[in-house]
Amino acid sequence: MVSTILDNKYKHFGLTELEVIEMLNYYKVDYELNIVKQWYNGYNFGNELVYNPWSIINYVFKGQIAPYWVNTSENSLINNLQFDYLEELSPELEKIYSGEAISIPVNEAIPFDELDQLDNIWSLLLFMGYLTTIEQPYQETLVDIPKYQVAIPNIEVFSFFRTNFMKIGTKTRTNTYEDIMSYLKCGNIEEFRKRFKVLFKQSISYYDADKQKKFYHQFMLGFLLYLNYEYKVISNREYWEGRVDIALEPYDKNLIGFIFEFKVANSQEDLQTAVQIALEQINDRGYAEEMKANGIQKVLKLGFAFYKKSVEIAFEHSDS
């Protein structure tokens, strides 16, 4: 008989917390359990929450926190599916990128020739270990496919989604990506704007050039997800007197906070007008006031306007 991670009556596959503590102590590893837990725990097998054994073994052997398991498999199918269906998956991806759970129908018997279909992506991610269940299933009737609440299990898997977008979404080397982000974080928007325009033109294909706002929003969300360890990423949420496209609130409140508003222009000539409208919306709806109320005094407001493979960026400081 074949059983899956959804079967409650079979013993888990993985390491319990007591087993992990015993192993780390036996091999005299200097560790902080909370950090180890955030990186490698979170997989729900039946009613047991377990650690990834491959990652724990490598952590014991190498003595440092790093993504181990996510680098052991060939991920081209997942990569292609995420980018091919980026627009359709956008609402759910926004939620899981922000650490929330989503409700999905789970098909335990996916035919091999249907692995690349949109309806099976979430089931595939679950059974491959990139998502985990957090609640018991819900079925309206006995003939319905059961729905599960699922989420990203830990930081190691989150790092996969984070770096995955860099590779397939922007076609950019990690060091180039980090350089661009460094200019944003320090508030050098002129240099950021120049480099981002080059990255954007290289990343967006001809076939994506007629997409609507939600495509560009998802592109920017994946792009800014790189800063998730330093900033709380808020996407399409109620914010002061409106719904902000994206806000980055730094965990260190002495750093700069960022507010992003996106518009899609009707033509190349309309880019300048559209980017000013984006900036005006940030001001009209008081998004910077929300961030200041949260204890962040240095705020940069950025308007983005997109047209096909072109982008224009305007910015203001919160005291402008």
Domain-wise residue ranges, the chain: 17-70, 73-156, 172-317
pLDDT for 290 equals 96
- How far is C-alpha 144 from the chain's CA centre? 30
pTM beyond cutoff 0.85: no
Spatial neighbors of 19 by CB under 8 A, at least 6 apart, are 51
Average pLDDT for runs of 10 along the chain of length 320? 69 87 96 96 87 97 93 71 70 80 87 75 90 81 79 92 69 76 96 94 70 82 85 91 96 97 96 98 97 96 95 87
The CATH class, in words, for 172-317 is alpha beta
Per-residue 3-state assignment (H helix, E strand, C coil) for 276-308: HHHHHHHHHCCHHHHHHHCCCCCEEEEEEEEEC
pLDDT for 320 equals 47
pLDDT for 212 equals 80
With beta carbons less than 8 A apart as the criterion, state whether 213 and 263 touch. Answer: yes
Helix ranges restricted to H, the chain: 17-26, 33-40, 53-62, 76-84, 86-97, 121-127, 155-169, 174-185, 189-203, 213-224, 271-284, 287-293
pLDDT for 165 equals 66
SS3 of residue 158 by DSSP? helix
* Residue 295: burial class (beta carbons within 10 Å; 0-12, 13-18, 19+): exposed
